[in-house]
Amino acid sequence: MLGPVILAASRSDRMRRLISAAPVTKQVVDRFIPGETVADIVPIIEDLTAKGLELTMDVVGEDITAPEQATAARDAYLALIDHLKALELGEKVEMSVKLSMFGQALDGGHELALANVRPVVEAAAAIGTTVTLDAEDHTTLDSMFAIHEELRKDFPQTGCVIQAYLFRTEADARRLAASGSRVRLVKGAYKEPAEVAYQQKHEIDKAYVRILRILMEGAGYPMIGSHDPRLIAIAQELAHKAGRKLDEYEFQMLYGIRSEEHLRLAAEGHRMRVYTAYGTDWYGYFMRRLAEKPANLRFFLRSMVSKG
Ligand SMILES: Cc1cc2nc3c(=O)[nH]c(=O)nc-3n(C[C@H](O)[C@H](O)[C@H](O)COP(=O)(O)OP(=O)(O)OC[C@H]3O[C@@H](n4cnc5c(N)ncnc54)[C@H](O)[C@@H]3O)c2cc1C
C-alpha cells in the first residue's frame, strides 16, 4: 500500500524540497543514481562496458516549467554524446529520454519536445547509437508515440517504451511490433487510475506476458525491461519458441538493482543493458525506485533516523 503514497509524494514540491535537502539523502540516492556530472559517469560507463554490459543513459529530470530548461536538457544530452564519441562504444551505449524534460507539457509542448529531441537523436546516430523514448504517465503517451513515429521516418532505430499496466498497451504493442520498432516493455512506474490501468500485481504480470509474446512473435526488436526472475525466464522461453537468436532481443535493468543478475545474463551470452541515470534533478526518479520496493523506503528512513 505504500507504493501509491510514495508516488503521490513524488509529485509534491514540498516533499521534493524536504528530501532533496536532507543531509543523508545523497548517500542513499547514490545506489540508484551514481553521479551528478558527465565526469562522474564516464568511469562508470567504462567499467560496466568492460564487464560485457551495455548501457542506456538517462540524464535525470522531468516535469520542467520553462522552455529554457528544455534547451538545457537537450544540451546536457548533447554534451554526454560528445563524451561518448571519444569512447567509441557505438550502440553499446544508447540514450533514454523523458519527453517531459524536453518541454512536452509546456505550451506548444508537442512541437517543442520534438524540436528539442531531434538533435539528440541526430547526434546519437552520428556516433553509431540511438535513443529510446521513455514512457511517462498515460496522459503523455499519444504525444510520445507520435514523436516516436516522426523520428523513425529518418532514424528507424529510435525506440520507445510501453507499460504492461495500461489497458491500451496490447494494441500499442501490436502496432509497434508490426512496424519493426525497437520496443522496451516495462511493468510501469507511475500512479495510474483504475480506468486506464491494472492495479493488481498478478494482473500486470499476466499482461506483461501477453504483450511480451506479441513482441517476440513480431518483426521488431524486444527489450525486456524488468528485474522479475519469473518474467526473465518466460522471456527466454518465448524468444526460443519464436526462433530468435541471442542478438535479436535484449534484457534491460536499472543500475543498482539486481546487479549480479546483470552479470549472470551477460555471461550467458545475452545482451544486457543497464539503465544508468545521472544528474542533479534526481528526485522523481529516486522516489519511483522507493515506491517499487518498500524495503528501500525502510532503508532510507533508517538512514535518516540514524543520522538525525
Ligand atoms: C531498463 C528499465 C527502464 C524502465 N523505463 C521505464 C519507463 O520508461 N517508464 C515506466 O513507467 N517505467 C519504467 N521502468 C520501471 C518499471 O516500470 C518498473 O517500475 C520497475 O522495473 C520494477 O518492475 P519489475 O519488472 O522489475 O518487477 P517487480 O515485480 O517490481 O520487481 C521484481 C524484483 O526486482 C527487484 N526490484 C524491482 N524494483 C526494485 C527497486 N526499486 N529496488 C530494489 N529492488 C527492486 C526486487 O527484487 C523485486 O522483487 C523501467 C525499468 C527498467 C528495468
**Ligand 1 centroid to residue 246 C-alpha, Å:** 22
Per the CB < 8 A criterion, the answer to whether 111 and 124 are in contact is no
From 98, 293, 296, mutation site for ligand 1 pocket: most ligand atoms within 8 A of C-beta: 293
DSSP-assigned letters across all residues of 153-172: HH-TT-EEEEETTBTTHHHH
Residue that has been written with the C-alpha cell 514512457 in this structure? 135
Per the CB < 8 A criterion, the answer to whether 283 and 252 are in contact is no
Q: How far apart are CA 59 and CA 77, in angstroms?
A: 7
pLDDT at position 5 is: 83
Q: Whose CA is nearest to atom 3 of ligand 1?
A: 225
Q: How far apart are CA 11 and CA 34, in angstroms?
A: 22
**Ligand 1 centroid to residue 289 C-alpha, Å:** 8
pLDDT at position 18 is: 82
Q: Tens digit of pLDDT per residue, the chain (308 long)?
A: 678 888 888 888 888 888 888 777 777 889 999 999 999 999 999 999 999 999 999 999 888 999 999 999 999 999 999 999 999 999 999 999 999 999 999 999 999 999 999 999 999 999 999 999 999 999 999 999 999 999 999 999 999 999 999 999 999 999 999 999 999 999 999 999 999 999 999 999 999 999 999 999 999 999 999 999 999 999 999 999 999 999 999 999 999 999 999 999 999 999 999 999 999 999 999 999 999 987 888 877 777 666 54
**Ligand 1 centroid to residue 26 C-alpha, Å:** 21
DSSP-assigned letters across all residues of 128-146: T--EEEPP-SGGGHHHHHH
Angle at alpha carbon of residue 179, lines to 143 and 52, rounded to 5°: 90
Q: How far apart are CA 272 and CA 215, in angstroms?
A: 18
Q: How far apart are CA 308 and CA 291, in angstroms?
A: 23
Catalytic (active-site) positions? 134, 184
Going from the C-alpha of 237 to that of each of 36, 218, 234, the distances in angstroms are 39, 15, 5
From 249, 287, 292, mutation site for ligand 1 pocket: most ligand atoms within 8 A of C-beta: 292
Residues 6+ away with beta carbon under 8 Å from 23: 307
pLDDT at position 17 is: 84
pLDDT at position 306 is: 62
Q: What residues flank ligand 1, with Cβ below 6 Å? A: 134-135, 161, 163, 184, 186-190, 225-228, 252-254, 257-258, 275, 289, 292-293, 296
The gap between the terminal CA atoms of the chain, to the nearest Å, is 26
* 165 Cα nearest atom in ligand 1: 17
**Ligand 1 centroid to residue 286 C-alpha, Å:** 12
Q: How far apart are CA 232 and CA 133, in angstroms?
A: 22
pLDDT at position 308 is: 47
Q: How far apart are CA 293 and CA 185, in angstroms?
A: 19
pLDDT at position 140 is: 98
Residue 248: Cβ-neighbour burial (10 angstroms; 0-12, 13-18, 19+): middle
Per the CB < 8 A criterion, the answer to whether 253 and 274 are in contact is yes
* 252 Cα nearest atom in ligand 1: 1
Domains, the chain, with CATH or none: 34-281 (3.20.20.220)
Angle at alpha carbon of residue 45, lines to 42 and 49, rounded to 5°: 150
Q: Whose CA is nearest to atom 19 of ligand 1?
A: 189
**Ligand 1 centroid to residue 227 C-alpha, Å:** 6
Grid cell listed for 303: 538512514
The angle that helices 201-217 and 229-241 make with each other, rounded to 10 degrees, is 20
Per the CB < 8 A criterion, the answer to whether 28 and 34 are in contact is no
Q: Whose CA is nearest to atom 2 of ligand 1?
A: 225
pLDDT at position 130 is: 98
* 231 Cα nearest atom in ligand 1: 25
**Ligand 1 centroid to residue 274 C-alpha, Å:** 12
Q: Which of 70, 129, 153, 135 is nearest to 105 (CA)?
A: 70
* 291 Cα nearest atom in ligand 1: 41
Cβ atoms within 10 A of the Cβ of 191, count? 17
Q: How far apart are CA 130 and CA 268, in angstroms?
A: 25
- Strand ranges, E, within 79-158: 93-97, 131-133
pLDDT at position 176 is: 98
Q: Which of 177, 185, 159 is nearest to 95 (CA)?
A: 159
* 227 Cα nearest atom in ligand 1: 26
Per the CB < 8 A criterion, the answer to whether 148 and 104 are in contact is no
Q: Whose CA is nearest to atom 27 of ligand 1?
A: 228
